[in-house]
Amino acid sequence: MSAEKAFIPPDRQRPTEAPPAARAVSLRTRSPVTEAVWVRALLISVGLAFVVVFLLLPLVFVFVQAFKLGFGEYLAQLSEPYAQSAIRLTLLVTAIAVPANLIFGIAAAWAIAKYEFKGKAFLITLIDLPFSVSPVIAGLVYVLLFGAQGYFGPWLAANDIQIIFAVPGIVLATIFVTFPFVARELIPLMQEQGTGDEEAALSLGASGFRTFLFVTLPNVKWALLYGVLLCNARAMGEFGAVSVLSGRIQGFTNTMPLQIEAASKEFSRTAEVAAFSLASLLALLALVTLALKTFLEWRYADRLSSAGQSH
């Protein structure tokens, strides 16, 4: 009993001390589920101020800086050879990393949600690993594995295969950090859906692959798209892991985030515009992703949360 009493919040412990008249007034003027007007105003303005100062202002600043010297200079900086190659490289890396994780993500989610096997919990933990490991560590691990001093270094060198400080390393690092996005989006949904639909399809004579293509996949398509969008945004923006093993060769292994950093270190007004014009492209991409995501949520909210059950 005494333990229970200790959990009562201090302000509720002595209700009798408040004057009965005051309590009656407060009860009459506001409903028990809402706060006083000034409390609401304060909370809303604090929340709003936070969003404006920490999210909106920096975003606006990116665009202000990018267009500081006019739209012509903005375009000129974006069409610089180094900027162009950074954009191309980022697109190439994303074009490899996102489909790779799409396949991995579907396979992993499928295995986890639809089958029982030993080590399942371990596999789920493993999929989450990139979320908990710092990207810099991820990059360093690849350097230790594939670097000239690393385990596979001598063999790779002997066979003239360049992995780190080249595109394959950047792709590997990007796949690593974006690994969980698709799988994490699919697993809860597929688990919730269970295997009922598939069993029905199979009992009607559909092949395994046909079942996957026409039953499993349509059930999760919106969650899948959602996962791919998140994966894509992160793949394009990844800095930490990529910076460790890119080698920073201008025009060859600098991705957009790396080129932004390089330009921001350069010491001129045009370099600043160069940095922010690339940053604005990334920001624009993030905004488009966000808009798509919001649209998906708004349009297909029911199917995103429990797509399979409506069948």
Partner 1 sequence: MTIRRPANGREFLAGAAAAIGVIIIVVAITMSGRSVALLNVSYDPTRELFEEYNQAFAAYWREATGQAVSIRQSHGGSGAQARAVVDGLEADIVTLALEVDVNLLAEAGLMDANWRDLLPNRSAPYTSTIVFVVRAGNPKNIRDWDDLVRDDVAVVTPNPKTSGGARWNFLAAWAYAESRSGGDEAVTLDFVRRLYANVAVLDTGARGSTQTFAQRGTGDVLIAWENEAHLTVGEFGAGAFEIVMPSQSILAEPPVAVVTRYADARSTATVAEAYVEYLYSAVGQRIAAAHFFRPSDPDLVDPEALAAFPAIQMTTIDHFGGWAEAQPRFFGDGAIFDQIYLPAP
Q: CB of 286: closest distance to partner 1 in angstroms?
A: 25
Report the b/e string of 36-55 with b at 16+ CB within 10 A: eeeeeeeeeeeeeeeeeeee
Interface with partner 1 in residues 22-61 (CB under 8 A): none
Between 172 and 307, whose beta carbon lies closer to partner 1?
A: 172
Longest Cα–Cα distance in the chain: 89
Between 71 and 267, whose beta carbon lies closer to partner 1?
A: 267
Residue among 148, 213, 287, 288 that touches partner 1 (CB under 8 A): 148
Q: By C-alpha distance, which of 181, 170, 161 is closest to 92?
A: 170
| Residues in contact with 98: Cβ distance below 8 Å, sequence separation at least 6, in sequence order | 178, 228, 231, 232, 235
CB 238 within 8 A of CB 45: no
CA distance 279 to 272: 10
Binding of partner 1 by 161 (CB under 8 A): yes
Site stretch for partner 1 (CB under 8 A), options 16-24, 43-51, 59-67, 242-250: 242-250
Angle, CA 276 vertex, CA 270 and CA 282 arms, to 5°: 145
Q: CB of 171: closest distance to partner 1 in angstroms?
A: 7
Q: By C-alpha distance, which of 51, 116, 67 is closest to 273?
A: 67
- Pattern of binders to partner 1 over 243-272, x per CB under 8 A? ----xxxxxx---------x--xxxxx---
Residue among 171, 173, 236, 282 that touches partner 1 (CB under 8 A): 171
Binding of partner 1 by 65 (CB under 8 A): no
Interface with partner 1 in residues 176-215 (CB under 8 A): 195, 198-199, 202, 208, 211
CB 270 within 8 A of CB 72: no
Between 92 and 225, whose beta carbon lies closer to partner 1?
A: 92
**Phi, psi dihedrals of residue 163, rounded to the nearest 5°:** -105, -60
Between 143 and 236, whose beta carbon lies closer to partner 1?
A: 143
CA distance 164 to 167: 7
Between 48 and 64, whose beta carbon lies closer to partner 1?
A: 64
Binding of partner 1 by 122 (CB under 8 A): no
Residue among 69, 76, 124, 166 that touches partner 1 (CB under 8 A): 166
CB 199 within 8 A of CB 66: no
Give residues in contact with partner 1 (CB under 8 A): 96, 100, 103-104, 107-108, 110-111, 114-117, 143, 146-150, 153, 157, 160-168, 171-172, 175, 195, 198-199, 202, 208, 211, 247-252, 262, 265-269
